[in-house]
Chains A and B, each alone.
Chain A
Amino acid sequence: MIELKVNDAQVKELLDDIMRLYGYDFSEYSKASIIRRINRLISLDRFEDFAAFRNHLRRHPDYLKRFIEEVTVNVTEMFRDPLFYNYLRTTVFPEIAMRPFIRIWHAGCATGEEVYSMAILLKESGLLHKSLIYATDINPDVVEKTRSGIFPLIRMREYSENYRMAGGTQDFSSYYTAQYDRVIFRDELKEKMICATHNLVSDGSFNEFQLILCRNVLIYFDRGLQERVLDLFDASLERLGFLALGTKETLKFSGLQQRYKQQQKERIWRKEY
């Protein structure tokens, strides 16, 4: 049974608390999604009502971790949208391959499945040795998961199929070792990864990249925040670098539109100047 537990005004109070007490600003996240995630968390963790939930969050700083983990969405998969990865491999990589050094940023990487997909692609294209992949997320727990390279065994059949559709030709299982119900990916894939927390709302640019991927993150932000985050990417991308978004995200309404050229029908844009 779905019950209405929180309304707009209550969500605003809650987000104000979090900003004041803990310094995380969720005020420019899409309201519809935040409301839904908060309702879900209240019922998952069996709070009596909104007031009890709000009190608990105010009084227990350690519960903030749980809040961030459940309110931000961490659903991801390896080689998500395989044709997108195939396009990266066949069309984007040759453009950046001549660089002496390649820096890639996965912003909002969740548990890291797409980061490992990237490392595999780079390895197979002979580029991993001169690449650095920065994997960041607002949530320290998922950053730790990314760092560990441990994923559920049960998903591997699907990922192997995605990998093949993305143009992979190796035996996918050669990239990991299975142990009970989990697999751990090979260390050589991790050697070129830097995993760190980074909050797109409040943290700034920290490097200059040839490729930035931020897929299915902007959908959770309102237009104002989207625009600021895109400016952050713009400031972090070198000229002729590539910006990749999720399949339903676009630069169409942003200030970057003029200077970025969409690559065919892919959700990949190239910075022209």
Chain B
Amino acid sequence: MEKGILVEDLVLIGGSAGSLDVLLQILPALRPDVQAAIILVLHRKATSETVLTQLLKQRTNLPVRDVEEKDRIWPGVIYVSPGDYHLLFESDGTLSLDDSERILYSRPSIDVSFESAAMVYGSRLTCILLSGANADGSEGMLFARKEGAYTIAQTPDSAELPLMPKAAIDNGAAMIEMQPSEILSFLNSRKHL
């Protein structure tokens, strides 16, 4: 596998109900020269995607893009995964979409994306799980941790709906718990230009 074509630092953020407020707290405060590629996989209605992207575009310093199939991942870009498709990671550094069965009633499934990204990016991957009302993400995060990824759960007491991050803490998937402000500091302290 050619590692040279993969970004050095991939941050994959999964979230469901209650995660949007956290993202709007974190993403606008990111340094504009962050080198990580940041990808959002959120449970939501298929129709609401451009709204979210527009909102993020207005408020953040980094470029924000809706994922199109076979898009190449670039550093310093925020990608928003579409509703109604699973997001998969190719070993050539591109993204694929998949409209197969829902998993835990979810498409996109955060489990699927964490697992797929971990297989390709291993220790270059950071997984973050935010507020949500179901357990999607915890299994995939556990797998990612075993593949060498760094794994973070939002502290349940800071989450509007704690079930999702709590599941990842309970099954041993999360290496660390962070408040939204700590997640922001973590991201801003990563390698930049």
Contacts and interface: CB of A to CB of B under 8 A. Distances in A.
A8 B1 contact: yes
B21 interface: no
A32 B82 contact: no
B143 A219 contact: no
A231 interface: no
A32 B142 CA distance: 19
A1 B139 CA distance: 6
Given A219-B69, A223-B70, A249-B69, A33 B1 contact: no
Contact of B119 (A4, A75, A226, A249): A4
Contacts of A35: 119
Interface in A217-256: 218-220, 222-223, 226, 246-250, 253
Nearest to B89: A32
B1 A36 contact: no
A33 B143 contact: no
Contact of B96 (A2, A8, A30, A253): A30
Give the interface SS of chain A, mostly helix, strand, loop or mixed.
loop
Interface in A113-160: none
Nearest to A1: B139
Given A32-B88, A32-B90, A2 B97 contact: no
Contacts of B46: 247
A31 B97 contact: no
B97 A248 contact: yes
B48 interface: no
B91 interface: yes
A73 interface: yes
Nearest to A8: B91
Contacts of A3: 143
Given A2-B115, A36-B112, A248-B82, A31 B68 contact: no
A143 B115 CA distance: 32
B58 interface: no
A248 B100 contact: no
A253 B46 CA distance: 24
Given A1-B139, A219-B69, A248-B68, A73 B98 contact: yes
19 contacts: A2-B139, A4-B143, A30-B90, A30-B96, A31-B90, A32-B88, A32-B96, A32-B116, A32-B120, A33-B100, A36-B112, A37-B100, A219-B98, A226-B70, A246-B99, A247-B82, A247-B84, A248-B69, A248-B97
Nearest 10 Cβ contacts at the A-B interface: A32-B88, A73-B100, A30-B96, A2-B143, A219-B69, A219-B97, A216-B99, A32-B96, A32-B90, A33-B98
